Amino acid sequence: MLYAHTVADVRAAEAALMAQVPPGSLMRWAAAGLAAYVREVVPGGSPVVFLVGTGDNGGDALFAAAELARERYVAVAPVDPSRVHGPGAEAVQAAGCRFVDSPRGFPVVVDGIVGIGGSPGLRAPADAWADVIAAERPFVIAVDVPSGVDVDRATLPASYLPADATCTFGTFKNALLVDPAASQAVRGALPRVVDIGLGPFLPPPSVEALTAADNRLLQAVLRSTLDTRGAHPTQKYTRGVVGVAAGSAAYAGAAQLCVRGAQAGVAGMVRFVGEPALAARIVDRCPEVVAHTDPEERGRVQAWVVGSGGGDDAAARLHMALEDEVPVVVDADALTHLPERLPVPALLTPHAGELARMLDVSRDDVEADPLGHATRAAERWEATVLLKGVRTLVVHPGAPTRVNLTGTPWLATAGAGDVLAGLAGSFLAAGASPRDAGSLAAFVHGAAAVAASGGGPLTAGRVADAVPAVIGAWHNGTLDESHLRDWRDR
Ligand SMILES: NC(=O)C1=CN([C@@H]2O[C@H](COP(=O)(O)OP(=O)(O)OC[C@H]3O[C@@H](n4cnc5c(N)ncnc54)[C@H](OP(=O)(O)O)[C@@H]3O)[C@@H](O)[C@H]2O)[C@@H](O)CC1
Ligand SMILES: Nc1ncnc2c1ncn2[C@@H]1O[C@H](COP(=O)(O)OP(=O)(O)O)[C@@H](O)[C@H]1O
């Protein structure tokens, strides 16, 4: 699992650690890690300019500059020459670094303007430096976080300095994993986390992300469903039955894709409830599905998926599902018919436009602050909210938010959300909590998209087809981290 912490939690951990180590230790460790990282990502002798702010972020940059000056040409551009970190300034002077007043002309820039102590946005002269960098496009390495971003909210003010690589300390920060900051300001690979000993002092994270190594969550779900030795050995019903009440005459394909997502997942059986013509088409295409045309005769399920392509029926389908008192995935059109209080554990799966409608704000508002809006909705409905996007969020009140890092932009294809809803329903039916079901489904869905895409275009049906192999590989520990995310397209 990757973990991100809030600024306040990092500061508290830093204070606790600092009380136990000699003064200046943390900054020395951070600077040594930064220098090693610069060496690694910019090998050879390219000249580097360090942009140095007035706080400790600038201090980190100065000590790293002094170390690297032994090997290559290093210049230092202070934001305010009268306010630089004292011991750091002495170190760069002793190392013979040149002082400059702009990053102009340097192929490599290290951004030590502000870190976790910065207020969002850039002030003079850093705002003008950002313009120079935008025009010249040197390789930019951020110290701790790209300067100017809102570190906890992961939002972007009018001015900030995007980085091509980021070296952070102790733990990830929200802005390094969550959009829009993560996608816009943190280009390239995931940031490097330099261990400075904060670990034992950090509380639970504010944000976390599953990795290929985190298959224990999946194994825990499958342990009970694939049990061959217990009192109730595996049969289709013990694996869970997922009910799909999705699609409409206008969106018949949504019903099929939702069913295919559910079938590709971990449940033992899929039931479909819908009007006769639609049910017939589903069974033609997916003969394993048990279809019910009379909702009163719908049979028992352990979880429902409602709303995908739901049209006019969505409200009635949601009402029907809630009557069964089992967990429910609420998708697409059904999201506009949520009751004041949900009587069952629920996973709400909006995209930004749907969440905007739920909260009566604009889509732009949601896209500018996805974490804030998804959190608002989770608290408002006391439910888990899975907000779909480049980095899908799974927000559950009172628990660390999960951000999904698998996927490819090719996944932005019609029907992909229907497959995800069905897949999430299968995890719910197998006994996962809405939070685990949402994050497992998002992870597998994204990884299946990368596998199916092979770097090229995708259809949603092919994503569903790739799901079983991804679940198998993740479960048995052979899923390769490098195949999870199509970084070239980011
Ligand atoms: N915590 C840890 O575990 C460790 C922390 N470490 C490092 O310390 C960093 C935090 O240092 P920090 O607290 O000194 O704050 P920092 O990010 O330098 O910014 C504050 C300064 O910037 C200024 N400033 C503010 N906003 C601005 C803006 N928009 N544009 C321009 N300037 C702005 C502000 O000036 P003022 O507002 O006071 O005029 C103030 O002087 C952290 O990110 C990491 O790199 C490591 O050394 C070791 C372990
Ligand atoms: N740029 C992107 N990169 C990666 N994944 C994306 C991107 N854009 C959308 N997605 C994913 O694609 C899926 C689209 O779902 P949705 O918006 O509901 O589409 P539809 O309604 O057509 O099924 C979601 O899982 C979302 O997270």
Give per-residue pLDDT as tens, 362-395.
999 999 999 999 999 999 999 999 999 999 999 9
Pocket probe for ligand 1: among 114, 123, 151, 166, the residue whose CB has the most ligand atoms within 8 Å is 114
Per-residue pLDDT tens digits for 284-330: 999 999 999 999 999 999 999 999 987 788 999 999 999 999 999 99
pLDDT at 332: 96
Tell me: is residue 346 an annotated ligand-binding position. Answer: no
Distance from Cα 181 to the centre of ligand 1, integer Å? 18
Distance from Cα 395 to the centre of ligand 2, integer Å? 17
Could you tell me if the CB of 112 is within 6 A of ligand 1?
A: no
Q: What is the mean pLDDT of residues 153-177?
A: 98
Per-residue pLDDT tens digits for 249-268: 888 899 999 999 999 999 99
- Strand ranges for 176-228 from DSSP E: 192-194, 207-209
- Strand ranges for 284-349 from DSSP E: 290-292, 303-306, 328-331, 346-349
pLDDT at 166: 97
Reply yes or no on whether the pLDDT at 95 is more than 80.
Answer: yes
Distances (CA, A) of 313 to 207, 256, 295: 36, 16, 12
pLDDT at 313: 87
Higher pLDDT, 188 or 220: 220
Tell me: is residue 5 an annotated ligand-binding position. Answer: no
pLDDT at 486: 64
Q: What is the mean pLDDT of residues 100-123?
A: 97
Reply yes or no on whether the pLDDT at 205 is more than 50.
Answer: yes
Domains for the chain: give ranges and CATH numbers.
2-207 (3.40.50.10260), 216-489 (3.40.1190.20)
Reply yes or no on whether the pLDDT at 234 is more than 90.
Answer: no
Reply yes or no on whether the pLDDT at 488 is more than 60.
Answer: no
Q: Please name the residue whose Cα sits nearest to atom 26 of ligand 1.
A: 118
Q: Please name the residue whose Cα sits nearest to atom 22 of ligand 2.
A: 414
Reply yes or no on whether the pLDDT at 490 is more than 60.
Answer: no
- Please measure the distance between the N-terminal and C-terminal CA atoms of the chain and give it in whole angstroms: 22
Could you tell me if the CB of 9 is within 6 A of ligand 1?
A: no
Please, is 418 exposed, middle or buried when counting C-beta atoms within 10 Å of its C-beta (0-12, 13-18, 19+)?
Answer: buried
Q: What is the mean pLDDT of residues 117-123?
A: 96
Give the predicted TM-score (pTM) of the model: 0.96
**What single string gives the DSSP state of each residue in 133-149?**
HHHH--EEEEESS-TTS
Q: Please name the residue whose Cα sits nearest to atom 25 of ligand 1.
A: 118
- 125 upstream amide cis, omega within 30 of 0: yes
